[in-house]
Structure 1
Amino acid sequence: MADPASAPRIDVPELTAFLDGHYAGIRQLTRKHLAEQAGVLQDQIEMSSEEFRERVLEVVKEFASTGMLGVGFPEEYGGGGDIGASIAGFETLALGDLSVLVKVGVQFGLFGGAILHLGSREHHAAYIPDLISGKLLGCFAMTESGHGSDVQQLGTTATYDPEAGDFVLSTPYDLARKDYIGNAACHAHAAVVFAQLVIGGESEGVHAFVVPIRDEKGKVLPGVRIEDDGPKMGLSGVDNGRIWFDGVRVPRANLLNRYADVTEAGEYVSDIENRSRRFFTMLGTLVQGRVSVGGAGINAAKVALVLAVRYSLMRRQFGDPSSDEEELLLDYGMHQRRLFPRLARTYAMHFAQETLVKELHEVFSAQAPVGDEEAEHRRRALESRAAGTKALGTWLATDVIQECREACGGNGYLAANRFAALKGDTDVFTTFEGDNHVLLQLVAKGLLTDYQSNFEELDQLGMVRFVSELAVETVVERTSAHKLLERVKDWLPGSDDPKDDESGLRDPSYHLAMLRFREEHMISGAARRLKRGMDRKMPPVVVFSRVQDHVIACARASVEREVLETFVAKVDELPEDSAHRVALTLLCDLYALSVIEDDKGWFMEHGRLTTERSKAISREVGRLCRRIRPIALDLVNAFGVPEELLQAEMLTPLSGSLEADREQLHADAAFSPDVAAGPVSAG
């Protein structure tokens, strides 16, 4: 038996406060309101789709009445003036029903965020007070059936009529219909519509307009056609719909004109002359939605881990034939291997998200003028980090929820145990607010072209041409992969004085050097492949297609390195003698080594791991899992998921006494048989 006395003692409320960080107040307030509305989780199971949509709307309006959903809007319009707090509150909503979360995101993040960031003060005064209170319900109409990620090619048109002083919105062909639009099918009275702005027969690119779509009684307005998208994999409480426009007129003032405007005479004016830069500047202001979705995915993963770890401390199966008592699931090494690296990854992504939210708050609070180069540099870096964190955060949710579901066996398949809703409702996270693979291309574009260049003007083919014009040695020098060899030489095959295979495995310098080397070697390799293809006179589209998987691998490696750096820095904030530092160090080491283990084929192919050291890493991962075992319950409880939200039949008290069961749960959590949790490595 592992001695539970040797495990770090965790003060769960104190660790929760550490995780909540600067925005502990809004997180706790959100948890309180979620607990009060916990009945919506059962409603999701029992109600029809039509009934549940109305129930979700009711919950959203009740939340709005508290003022908590308007915290990100300016104080002068009834908000709290804190964008960071707004995102912290939103992602905490993911601990509850996810239809409520998405409905809130559409209304306050997308619809409200577009008006806030793309509109002028006149728009703010006209719309924000009513949308904060829930009096004005809206939707965000960007995606079309024919275009999603490629926003510049949207088909909807907004043609200026100088005689009437109106914009005329039209859907010129069926694939230009707005599609998958949350709030559209039933509840929205207005939409922020993204359309090609046409003046005198020429398009000035995609711009955003506020367009009424229903009257006060909820009747669809003339010229607007709306259809329900129909049943979905999840999110049955969100009314996604399709919208067509047939000559719908809106006043000139309905153009959200922070970055561009049209005079009464029909003259197009903007402080940003370059059309492509203007477009990406406008789109960049909407990064808040992408950040929010990534955070929501991470928090949904937390719920799954709480359910799975608690269940594994209640369910017994098999065990020593000489004993009268069967083994707890969590005492099996494979069960630990399934859950604990994912627990470590969830902690890692939590801290990465926390850092991202802080950066976003600082960038948006700065109110830098258009054209400020330093501000533009920070904004581009923010967009890249947001893209990468969203991709890994939502993939985390998909992976963790599935593994936790399987770890709970047949119980995980029952709707009463929350996994059905968690799986169905989060599945779309990987593709809305940007398809994850497309987002990683954005990250890679920044890595290859450097933030000093105006990379937002480069599409995929532009990136190929840009890199082909560089001396590849410039890319290699910038990545400095060759310098990293010095940092890891003591652990590399062929070293003159190699260390023991077990040495340095838990040294964060080793972890960081390995992930940095992988990232920078991949970047220089991708640059060489891009240039080689262009040197051979291959069409840029062919070059990019052949290297696309390599480019995306670069981005993923970069984000994983960034996440590890953030985790290491967060651990370093804690005092050396802190029990929480010991616990988080175990998780940080497990995250780093499991990332290396998952990609050990690459590291071995590139001479960075011997067979023996690869086996040593697997053994160390097993040891770390056994050390985490006695504190696993505390680590998941520190996520702060309210008890009211853990509505799972499989966690129903088996003894008839909740208190007796909890006492047994904590007693069982303190033990970890080394026999059952033996080394995973066959070496």
Structure 2
Amino acid sequence: MSTAETLRALLDGPHTATRERVRWWLSQPGNEPADDLPIEEHRARVLEWTKELASEGDTAIGYPVEYGGKNDPGAGVTAFETLAMGDLSLLVKCGVQFGLFGGAILHLGTEKHHARYLRDVGAMDLPGCYAMTETGHGSNVQALRTTATYDPQTQEFVVNTPDDDARKDYIGNAARDGRLAVVFAQLITGGEERGVHALLVPIRDEDGEPCDGVRIEDCGAKLGLNGVDNGRLWFDNVRVPRENLLDKLAQVHADGTYFSPIENPTRRFFTMLGTLIQGRISVGGASISASKVALTIAVRRALERRQFGPPGGDEEALLMDYRTHQRRLLVPLAKTYALSFTQLRLVEDLHAVFTNEDAPERERRELETLAAGVKAIATWHATDTIQGCREACGGAGYLRSSRFASLKADTDVFTTFEGDNTILLQLAAKNLLTDYKDAFGELDKLGMAQFVAGQALSVLSERVPLRKLADSLLPGRDDDADLLAHKTQLDLFRWRHEHLLAGAARRLKGGIDAKRDPFDVLVDTQDHVLDVARSWVDLVILESFVEAAKGNALLSKLCTLYALSVIEAERGYFQEHGRLSATRSKGVVKAVNTLCGELRPHVRDLVDAFGVPETALGDARLVADEQEQVPA
């Protein structure tokens, strides 16, 4: 195999056939991204594409076999993230229909819901919505204000929107195509509020007209993703049968009696959200794919475009021969590889948990933590990488035909949907600081800081022997360690994380010991808490890359570039805390430059390994011809 083929096999992971199937579909005439269509034409094309994929059995891979699927959630996520190389409106349409809407029915519903709905959902015979977000409440899902009040006389739930602040907003599939919605609402039965639960609520009839009591409004043009029909929903005392409650985690009996195997309402709420974690993992993977598209376009451009050169020379130099250009493309390229291998690990963990009903709670919580952190880092990386690649292509990258306009606009929302990134990092940090203590789920926001203060240091003591922890926090330079060795890099990443973790715990505990308001303590330490999460995700990403690079010299060198680029970005922290001398810190910068030069001859192989279909690369004038021999 060629170098690019060898790398692609590693990047594709265990679901190569699934990836190749999606690449083939994206390469077919008529399936190229539709970046400049009028909104209604774009929506219509995306709907037809979605139906085509559904008719070929490519959309329900993760569903049980008896409902038209293959019971393979890992392959389902893989197909989704590969689809992100094409039109991102199609990606999101599929994510809403088969991931969010169908996923809610699969994971929150029971057998009766599966039998009635899943096959039609997977075949696109029943277009649906996932109606969680409200105008007044986005990230704070627990405080949603839509209500679902049980009426024992008719054995129905009455779903109601109390005011415009509680309308369901930005809901994919709502403006035009959706007929049934999974609606998240405050459940009320026996005169008592039971917390947020999910119900199935019809929003359109067979003729496409809004159902009685349902008001629908189009969100209109957006910054991007205009092939997706986002809309707003209001419910005016809409009645739905008792069996429309997705009742895996809680049931309401005919007389209104409420029962849940999870007694604590807060834990029940977070368990409900945890079952929908596949969406976060999918969005993170899609962001990585979008980064691959941008890098492929920009690297090919840099291997074709010439600018300036040695005085008196016969021809100008290729952009890729300039160190600044190598840095602006090879550093994000290295991180994209690192994230790709982390994503493979995430998908493997997801598959293991979702195909094992008896998976331990700790495994589920670890998956939730990693999914939250990687989704945040991967989507921010996509935003930065696409912008950097656009700039690297100059004026040509500003043309709509280059794809950068749509890549930027369509991925921008990835940083806030399926969880705002800042909130997700706080979630990851919370889990890290409490070592997944079950009691943490019982606390409200005001109790969070107090609990962390009481537990975090003891948790650290359990995880790291006290003497080792104390030693790790003392200033100590790594002047004798080989910065090009993965062990040294891992040691530095691990030290940074543990140092930040211990520091955050001390600050939280100190604030509580001083009898300050717990919420004020938490607010004051938020920046530190977020750094804890970032440092941990950085460590996990490096661990994943080091493992994947074993036995491959080129990947090992690229892994070192990733590690040293992070150390370079954080060298102020390492110097402030005595881990790197000024001389060693300068050496990191020099090493990054050297690695860029050494990787320069391999850059075309490195992006070809992504396997981005030619139809997804925009205007042919931006890329070097595939057969062209590019000088090294």
- Tell me if both proteins adopt one fold, taking TM over 0.5 as the criterion: yes
- Structure 1 CA distance, aligned partners of 2:502 and 2:470? 15
Q: Give the AA of the match of 1:389.
A: V
- Identity, % of aligned pairs? 55
Distance 1:125 1:247 in 2: 28
Which residue, out of 494, 502, 511, partners 1:533? Answer: 511
Matched with 2:35 is: 44
CA distance in 2, matches of 1:56, 1:462: 46
2:591 matched residue in structure 1: 620
For residues 135-155 of structure 1, give each alpha carbon's deviation from its aligned partner in whole angstroms, at most 9, with x where no partner exists. 100010000001111111100
Q: Which amino acid aligns with 1:646?
A: L
**Counterpart in the other structure of 1:408:** 393
Select 2:416's aligned residue among 400, 414, 431.
431
- The 1:607/1:415 distance shift into structure 2, 3 A limit, reads same
SS at match of 2:357: coil
Q: CA separation of 1:598/1:296 partners in 2, compared to 1, >3 Å: closer, same or farther?
A: same
- Corresponding residue SS for 2:158: strand
Matched, 1:17 2:9: yes
- Once the two structures are overlaid, the 10-residue window that deviates more, 230-239 or 476-485, is 476-485
Aligned residue among 58, 65, 72 for 1:68: 58
5 Å-filtered alignment, 1:493-512, equals 493=477, 498-499=479-480, 504-512=482-490
Contact kept? 1:144, 1:179, Cα under 8 Å = yes
SS of aligned partner of 2:62: coil
Counterpart amino acid of 1:448? L
Q: CA deviation at 1:481?
A: 8.5
Question: CA 1:266/1:526 → structure 2, altered by over 3 Å: closer, same or farther?
Answer: same
Q: Secondary structure at the match of 1:220?
A: coil
Residues 1:589 and 2:560 aligned together = yes
Q: Tell me, in whole angstroms, the C-alpha distance in 2 between the residues paired with 1:628 and 1:144.
A: 48
SS state of the match for residue 234, structure 2?
strand
- After TM superposition, the structure 1 stretch with the greater mean CA deviation from structure 2, 468-477 or 308-317, is 468-477
Equivalent residue in structure 1 for 2:25, among 20, 25, 33: 33
Deviations 1:9-49 (A, max 9, x none): 952223212211111111110111111155442x321x211
SS across alignment from 1:69: coil
In the other structure, the counterpart of 1:208 is 198
Structure-2 residue corresponding to 1:365: 355
1:658 counterpart residue number: none
How far 1:564 moved relative to its partner?
Answer: 0.4
Q: Which residue of 2 aligns with 1:380?
A: 365
Contact 1:417 1:648 in 2 (8 A): yes
Which of 525, 548, 563 in structure 2 is aligned with 1:547?
Answer: 525
Residue of structure 1 equivalent to 2:580: 609
| Residues 448-470 of structure 1 deviation map (CA, whole Å, 9 limit, x = unaligned) | 11124433333443221112224
Alignment partner of 1:306 is 2:284: no
Q: Assess if the C-alpha contact under 8 Å between 2:303 and 2:630 holds in 1.
A: no
Q: 1:663 and 1:544, CA in 2 relative to 1: closer, same or farther beyond 3 A?
A: same
- 3-state SS in 1 of match to 2:360: helix
Query: C-alpha offsets along residues 244-267 of structure 1, whole Å, 9 cap, x if unaligned?
Result: 000101000100011111111110
Residue 554 (structure 2) pairs with residue 568 (structure 1): no
One-letter identity of the residue aligned with 1:61: K
Contact 1:481/1:520, CA 8 A, preserved across alignment:
no
Confirm or deny: 8 A CA contact 1:297 1:397 kept in the other structure. Answer: yes
Shift of 1:480: 5.2
| Contact 2:301–2:623 (Cα < 8 Å) also in 1 | no
How far apart are residue 417 of structure 1 and its match? Answer: 0.3
Query: 2-side partners of 1:476 and 1:461: how far apart?
Result: 25
1: CA distance, partners of 2:577 / 2:473: 13
Cα distance in 2, alignment partners of residues 436 and 116 from structure 1 = 26
Cα distance per residue 1:402-427 (max 9 Å; x no partner): 10000000111111000000000000
Q: Distance in 2 between matches of 1:442 and 1:275?
A: 18
Measured after TM superposition, the shift of residue 283 of structure 1 is 1.1
Letter in 1 for 2:327: R
Asked if 1:138 corresponds to 2:128, the answer is: yes
> For residue 468 of structure 1, what is the amino acid of its counterpart?
A
The 2-side partners of 1:474 and 1:354 are apart by 29
Q: Deviations over 1:340-395 (max 9, x none)?
A: 11000000000001000100100110112xxxxx6111111110011001011111
The answer as to whether partners of 1:12 and 1:635 remain within 8 angstroms in 2 is yes
Cα deviation, residue 662, structure 1: 3.5
Q: CA deviation at 1:272?
A: 1.4
One-letter code of the match for 1:204?
A: R
The answer (yes or no) to whether the contact 1:488–1:513 under 8 Å persists in 2 is no
Amino acid at match of 2:491: A
Q: Deviations over 1:278-329 (max 9, x none)?
A: 1111111000011100000011000000000000011000001221100000
Note if 1:458 corresponds to 2:443. yes
C-alpha RMSD over aligned residues? 1.8
TM-score by length of 2: 0.97
The corresponding residue for 1:656 is none
2:434–2:456 contact (8 Å) kept in structure 1:
no
Inter-partner Cα distance in structure 2 for 1:550 and 1:456: 22
Instruction: Answer yes or no: is 1:630 the counterpart of 2:601.
Output: yes
Query: Partners of 2:457 and 2:29 in 1: how far apart?
Result: 57
TM-score by length of 1: 0.90
Give the secondary structure class of the aligned counterpart of 1:635: helix
2: distance between equivalents of 1:488 and 1:163? Answer: 65
Distance 2:418 2:464 in 1: 30
Does the C-alpha gap of structure 1 residues 624 and 116 become closer, same or farther in structure 2, counting only changes over 3 Å? same
Corresponding pairs, count: 632
Q: Which segments of 5 or more consecutive residues in structure 2 lack a partner in the other structure?
A: none
SS at match of 2:225: coil
Alpha-carbon displacement from aligned partner over 1:146-167 (angstroms, at most 9, x marks no partner): 1111111100000001001100
Cα offset, 1:509, TM superposition: 0.8
Could you say which residue in structure 2 is the equivalent of 1:3? Answer: none
Partner of 2:211: 221
Rounded Cα–Cα distance in structure 1 between residues aligned with 2:600 and 2:410:
30
Shift of the alpha carbon at 1:476?
5.1
Distance in structure 1 (CA, Å) of the matches to 2:108 and 2:156: 19
Structure 1 unmatched runs, 5+: 1-8, 369-373, 575-580, 654-660, 672-683
State the 4+ residue runs in structure 1 displaced beyond 6 angstroms: 484-489
Say yes or no: does 1:445 pair with 2:430.
yes
Amino acid at match of 1:24: T
Work out the CA distance in 2 between the residues paired with 1:377 and 1:17. 31
CA distance in 2: counterparts of 1:446 and 1:197, whole angstroms: 27
Deviation, 1:513, is 0.6
Match of 1:559 in 2: 537
Give the Cα separation in 1 of the matches to 2:3 and 2:459.
Answer: 50
Query: For the Cα contact (< 8 Å) 1:389–1:559, is it kept in 2?
Result: yes
Contact 1:449 1:463 in 2 (8 A): no
The amino acid across from 1:197 in the alignment is L
Distance in 2 between residues matched to 1:340 and 1:280, nearest whole Å: 39
